[in-house]
Amino acid sequence: MNKKKFLLVEYTTHFRNALDNFKIFQKFFDCYFLTSREKQYYVKLKNKKIVFKFPQFLILFYVILNGYKYRYIYFSTPHELPDYPKGIKEKIFFFYTFILYSIIFLIYKKKVILQLRSLHRYFPKIRLIKKKQRFYNIFRNLYLHFCNNIVCESKYLKNKLIKKIGKKKCVDKNIIVLYYAYTKKISKIKFRINKKKLNIGILGTIDSKRKDYTMLIKILKNKYFFNKEIFLTFLGAANTSLAKKKIDEFSKFSKKIISKNYYTDHEFLKFGKKCDFLISLNNKKNFYGEFRMSGCFGDAILLKKYLFCPSFEDPYREFSNFSFYFKNLGHLISNIKFCTNKKQTIIFEKLKYEDLNKTIKDNFDIK
């Protein structure tokens, strides 16, 4: 039996996650990965990679003209960036992209799968959304009504989405959960923090709007760290002037800092696996936890590392087997001390991966 063709589209930012999802759907479909010529080097595939040879802003025309060849068209990062356009050029491009997506839905409605990276971009009535920004959310909200197949990044966000759209309107939709990464095998890891040396992995692109770096400074100033050799590994892109400024700031508290403008998958694993533990510094201002998922849990799964993250990031505690959810600085420091004095067992289990395979079989036309 020939597998039906499946097109995954990613040409913006989430390439590691897109490739992981590509491999998952490849079990069930004859998958192809569409990306732009500008971003083709981020996609490490020997076969089934389609590189759009024309300028990136025209890539959706490939989908319009060739979508009939595929059973499903999966948008890994749909029309979400920039969050809220500024300036005439960005505003014109927003409506240009909206029109192209509308044409795709008009022609291929039942084929389209949208992976929602964050819910706050789709609902204008969220309290923290500024009035000027709500205008764009009204248009993005139309996608949710057009689309039959939606992917959320956690069970919590799936339930939140259904509640926002309305249960009756979701009856005919396939809304599934696809985590950032999956454990394919059960792993039980013994974890204990070294008393003399400590390599801390800081997750995510260096960005003061999304991250709370004052928290990290307060951590490193704590007496517990005074007699330790501290190494900091920034595991996200550090390619801005702000990033260089922050790295200089933290050099006062650490023996060595590792950072890169961009990590390849190989480099991410190489440097990440040398860390003793990982920490997420996401702040609540950017809707983490309530309306968007953090990639920190997927990074912890890929690296098989213990994760410290703010308590608001995972409301359902879906990743509690390997994560510690801290409420404040004192709560975090006390657990770090506890992990220094006593060995912990963290578990990465494959149950979620097995559930996903069943979900895909139950919700998508495979035969």
Looking at the structure, tell me whether residues 268 and 196 fall in a common domain. Answer: yes
Looking at the structure, tell me whether residues 237 and 295 fall in a common domain. Answer: yes
- In contact, 325 and 311? CB cutoff 8 Å: yes
Report long-range pairs for 312-317 (Cβ below 8 Å, ≥24 apart).
312/284, 312/288, 313/280, 313/282, 313/288, 313/289, 314/154, 314/156, 314/289, 315/156, 315/289, 315/290, 316/154, 316/155, 316/156
Sign of the CA dihedral running 300, 243, 136, 106: negative
Looking at the structure, tell me whether residues 162 and 204 fall in a common domain. Answer: no
Q: Give the pLDDT means over successive 10-residue stretches in the chain (367 positions).
A: 87 91 94 96 92 96 97 94 88 96 95 94 81 86 94 95 93 91 87 90 89 90 88 90 86 88 89 95 89 92 94 94 94 92 88 86 80
Looking at the structure, tell me whether residues 261 and 152 fall in a common domain. Answer: no
Looking at the structure, tell me whether residues 269 and 359 fall in a common domain. Answer: no
Looking at the structure, tell me whether residues 204 and 290 fall in a common domain. Answer: yes
Looking at the structure, tell me whether residues 139 and 252 fall in a common domain. Answer: no
CATH of the domain at 334: 3.40.50.2000
Looking at the structure, tell me whether residues 67 and 153 fall in a common domain. Answer: yes
144: containing domain: 5-181+353-363
Looking at the structure, tell me whether residues 12 and 129 fall in a common domain. Answer: yes
Give the pLDDT score at 363: 86
- In contact, 306 and 334? CB cutoff 8 Å: no
Strand partners, 201: 233, 278
Give the pLDDT score at 357: 87
Looking at the structure, tell me whether residues 98 and 117 fall in a common domain. Answer: yes
Cα 313 from Cα 145, distance rounded (Å)? 27
Tokens of 148: 């039959």
Residues 6+ apart with CB under 8 A from 99: none
Give the pLDDT score at 1: 46
Please give the tally of structural domains in the chain.
Answer: 2
The full DSSP string for 12-70 is: SS-HHHHHHHHHHHTTTSEEEEEEETTTGGG---SSSEEEE-S-GGGHHHHHHHHGGG-
Tokens of 364: 């998508």
- In contact, 198 and 230? CB cutoff 8 Å: yes
Looking at the structure, tell me whether residues 18 and 83 fall in a common domain. Answer: yes
Looking at the structure, tell me whether residues 117 and 246 fall in a common domain. Answer: no
Tokens of 111: 């084929």
Cα 344 from Cα 322, distance rounded (Å)? 10
- In contact, 122 and 137? CB cutoff 8 Å: yes
pTM for the model stands at: 0.90
Residues 6+ apart with CB under 8 A from 352: 179, 182, 183
